[in-house]
Structure 1
Amino acid sequence: MGDHLVRIENVDMRYGGEGGVLAVSGLNIAVEKGEFAAVVGPSGCGKSTLMRLVTGLHIPQTGSVVVAGQQVTKPVSIVGMAFQNPTMLPWRTTLDNILLPLEIVDKHRKRLRAHKAEYVAQAERLLEIVGLKGFGDKFPWQLSGGMQQRANLCRALIHEPELLMLDEPFGALDAFTREELWQVIRDLHAQQDVTIVLVTHDLREAVYLADRVFVMSARPGRVLHEHKIDFPRPRELELMYDPAFTKKVQELRGEIADARQVA
């Protein structure tokens, strides 16, 4: 058994009380430290429920969720999150938006006032990694959607989380911007020693970025298949023209098509 950072065991999660919607049932997932995992499946399969369970925003009715050796009973502070629509505060500069989690996470809030310069330098370093060097003083409305999403990744990483949860982060972007950001997240994973769980509808994205891809069933969601992705790293975009890459994407597409039939 590897060193698991996330372990979900036999979890049922129902919304809206006893007669409510069963979102996931018998859900089992384990993600190792440093791994890049992707979760795919038909719409409504419980991918977002999975995000909420791991981050402690929802506590399951049955089964257990363990993150970094701790049973999850409340929101988890070692997690950074990035979603499809980056909600940047329009009255704050990009830099101040990135620093926002530090004002919320307890251990950082206490240090922020005394060590602001150190955190600003860290934010500037992240901006440089994602290709936004020099944009820290710009306001969100001065940034394109792709640039906002880059800043959103910096904000998710500023408090040095051990685990980064990405929920369809590139879904609203055009194909070229999305592929640029795939390379950004690939490099972040390589450089930051962070474990990543990506929820996506984009099967090419999943195969390009992940070490393992979990395929979920239709609601109530559970894991039907698990794929180890063996393409060597660092992966270049040309990989997507490789017949073995296309074959893996088609295999996933077939499994999801089957999963949609089986409710």
Structure 2
Amino acid sequence: MTGFVDLRNVRLTYGGTADGTLALDGLDINVKKGEFAAVVGPSGCGKSTLMKLATGLITPQEGTVEVAEKEVSGPVSIAGMAFQNPSMLPWRTTLANVMLPLEIVQPHRSKLRREKASYVARAEDLLKLVGLAGFGEKYPWQLSGGMQQRANLCRALIHDPALLMLDEPFGALDAFTREELWQVMRNLHAEKGFTVILVTHDLREAVYLADKVFVMSARPGRIIKEREVTFERPRPIELTYENAFNDIVHELRGLIADARAAA
């Protein structure tokens, strides 16, 4: 079945030559519209490479990459991206940082000047949704790391992307703040209904947030397991302490340990 994000038999070698680094080989992944997927695996297995393929930042030597039933041949405009480092511009306010993609992505770029008030209202609504109401005029240095990451999520969502790509977005945060932002992400996904692919090393994060978890082999990366996560939504954070939840975490950890041993 064709998914909203569909990678089929993808092979990618960095350097593009026979003696280059084979990053992915025979990779298949299918994520349905509105689904929350997580990708886990050993370090260096190609998780972030997969993300670059799905957003059109790189193209494979073999195989096909489709998003929204269109073959990807360049940057995907319907995607928003958030990374571990928020990379907020220090000379811009939080509100101005959130609105930055509107200055770049069409059709918003063409409409921004004449419809600025409505875009500002959209940005302020997003900030309120993630618990940053009233912080729009603050500068990044006036925000905690967790607050900056909340603003980073708003920036990724300001242009109403149909696809949200998350690359270790909570990895640099303390455990308590990380769990707070899991719940923020849970609520954003429930309200907005976008498709999400989360790349993470945190197996608890993957199981808490995702509808399905893809486990990758060691490099060259391919999918060795697609694990459905069927806990009812919305998921309370207390779920992460239950035996059924931790059983899945341990199952995934075992798969990754086996993948590392087989490398």
TM-score (normalizing by structure 2): 0.99
Amino acid of the structure 2 residue aligned with 1:14: T
**CA distance in 1: counterparts of 2:261 and 2:220, whole angstroms:** 13
Shift of 1:126: 0.4
TM-score (normalizing by structure 1): 0.99
List alignment gaps of at least 5 residues for structure 1. Answer: none
**CA distance in 2: counterparts of 1:140 and 1:241, whole angstroms:** 34
What's the counterpart of residue 204 of structure 2? 204
Query: Deviations for 1:36-62, whole angstroms, at most 9, x for unmatched residues?
Result: 000000000000000100000000000
What's the counterpart of residue 98 of structure 2? 98
What's the counterpart of residue 15 of structure 2? 16
**CA distance in 2: counterparts of 1:17 and 1:31, whole angstroms:** 27
What's the counterpart of residue 83 of structure 2? 83
**CA distance in 1: counterparts of 2:72 and 2:44, whole angstroms:** 24
Q: Does 1:139 align with 2:139?
A: yes
Shift of 1:16: 1.1
Structure 1 segments of 4+ aligned residues over 2 angstroms from their partners? none
Amino acid of the structure 1 residue aligned with 2:219: R
Query: Deviations for 1:82-112, whole angstroms, at most 9, x for unmatched residues?
Result: 0000110000000000000010112110000
Q: Please give the residue correspondences for 1:14-163 in structure 2 after superposition, counting only pairs within 5 Å.
A: 14-18=13-17, 19-163=19-163
| Aligned alpha-carbon RMSD (Å) | 0.7
SS of residue matched to 1:10:
strand
SS of residue matched to 1:106:
coil
Among all aligned residue pairs of Structure 1 and Structure 2, give the percentage whose two residues are the same amino acid: 70
Shift of 1:193: 1.3
Q: Please give the residue correspondences for 1:167-182 in structure 2 after superposition, counting only pairs within 5 Å.
A: 167-182=167-182
**CA distance in 1: counterparts of 2:243 and 2:189, whole angstroms:** 25
**CA distance in 2: counterparts of 1:79 and 1:236, whole angstroms:** 28
Shift of 1:17: 2.4
What's the counterpart of residue 239 of structure 2? 239
List alignment gaps of at least 5 residues for structure 2. Answer: none
Aligned residue pairs, count: 262
